[in-house]
Structure 1
Amino acid sequence: MSEDIAFRLLADGDWDAVVELEHDAYAADGLSEGRVALQSRARPSPGTCYVLEHRGRVRGYVLSLPYPLYRCPDLTRAEERSHEEGSHEERSHEEGGHHSRNLHLHDLVIAEELRGRDVALRFVRHVRAQAQRQGFERISVVAVRRTDVLLAMLGYRTHREVPVPACYGPRAVYMSMAI
């Protein structure tokens, strides 16, 4: 199985598969964002967005982008600006005044037939290794649909004090980890 799986950077020709996977994963819960919003999340940082190929087909993806720590994208609208460096105010709020380069793992989807086979763990480890190589210091994520349990086992810390927009659903929680 492992030789059938490869991780690579997201390419322009992958968007149809990404949009289909995202819709299948989130539409029933009202969390599907659609192509325009998804592409706006990838645009600021194409070097941190990946696909999972299984037997030559895109069967998963990760959209991640530099984003201020303790903040997250609003699912109801597309990204309007890059958060690469953050404003002075954002930097002074983070980590007691120390700016940390944060990569926000906005979305990770794996096709249903590949779930539960350690594929997600391998994909998350790949993203973490790439983030570290690129100089990021933290990874943040909003856990939805009770994925906080899995993320906690991977080393993510829950930040219940961080408000999460209602568009993420009633059980969404902000989490982060040092790289």
Structure 2
Amino acid sequence: MLALPYPRFRYPDLSRPEERAYDSRNLHLHDLVIADDLRGRGLGSRLLRQLTMTAARSSFERISLVAVGGTGGFWAGHGFRPEPAVELNGGYGDGAVYMSCPVQYDRSGGPEEGS
């Protein structure tokens, strides 16, 4: 898993290296990969819960990502919603979708996924 502070409605351009770091209340989930032989065990959901808790403790307000390879349904099931105003370029491929989700807190004061 790789996540970094990045301005909301923006995303890394895969065709060039990053030239600066951002101070942002948006945490961009750039990559989450589960090995083929370990998929289907809930590991992606567990990693996302850990990221959400870390984001909440670090005062991030939102988590964004670019859903690729038909993974939009997985992310939607975890509270991420498409941001149709964001046009993607930079090598993400056909069907890629920019999505985001607020970092929420449950009643006990801990972080909660989704919206």
For normalisation by structure 1, the TM-score amounts to 0.56
Within the candidate set 79, 89, 100, 1:165 is matched to 89
Q: Measure, in 1, the Cα distance between the counterparts of 2:100 and 2:60.
A: 12
Partner of 2:42: 118
Indicate the RMSD between aligned Cα atoms, in angstroms.
0.9
CA offsets 1:29-66 (integer angstroms, 9 cap, x no match): xxxxxxxxxxxxxxxxxxxxxxxxxxxxxxxxx11100
Structure 2 SS opposite 1:70:
coil
- CA displacement 1:87-137 (0-9 Å, x = unmatched): xxxxxxxxxxxxxx1000011111111111111100111111111111101
- Structure 1 stretches (4+) deviating beyond 6 angstroms? none
Percent of aligned positions that are identical: 50
Which sections of structure 1, spanning at least 5 residues, go unmatched? 1-61, 86-100
* Greater relative contact order (Cα < 8 A, sep 6+): 2
Amino acid at match of 1:80: E
* Contact 2:15–2:90, Cα closer than 8 Å, also in 1: no
| TM-score, length of structure 2 as denominator length | 0.86
Q: How many residues align?
A: 103
Q: Distance in 1 between matches of 2:53 and 2:88?
A: 27
1:63 alignment counterpart: 2
Question: Which residue number corresponds to residue 64 of structure 2?
Answer: 140
In structure 1, the partner of 2:22 is: 83
Following TM superposition, by how much is the alpha carbon of 1:83 offset from its aligned partner in structure 2, in angstroms?
A: 1.3
What SS does the aligned partner of 2:41 have? coil
Segments of structure 2 that go 5 or more residues without pairing to the other structure are 104-115
Letter in 2 for 1:70: F
Whether 1:175 and 2:114 are equivalent positions in the alignment is: no
Secondary structure at the residue paired with 1:174? strand
Rg larger in 1 or in 2?
1
- Summarize the Cα distance change of 1:141–1:84 in structure 2 as closer, same or farther, 3 Å threshold: same
Deviates more, 1:75-84 or 1:64-73: 75-84
> Once the 2 structures are TM-superposed, how far is the Cα of residue 166 of structure 1 from its aligned partner?
4.6
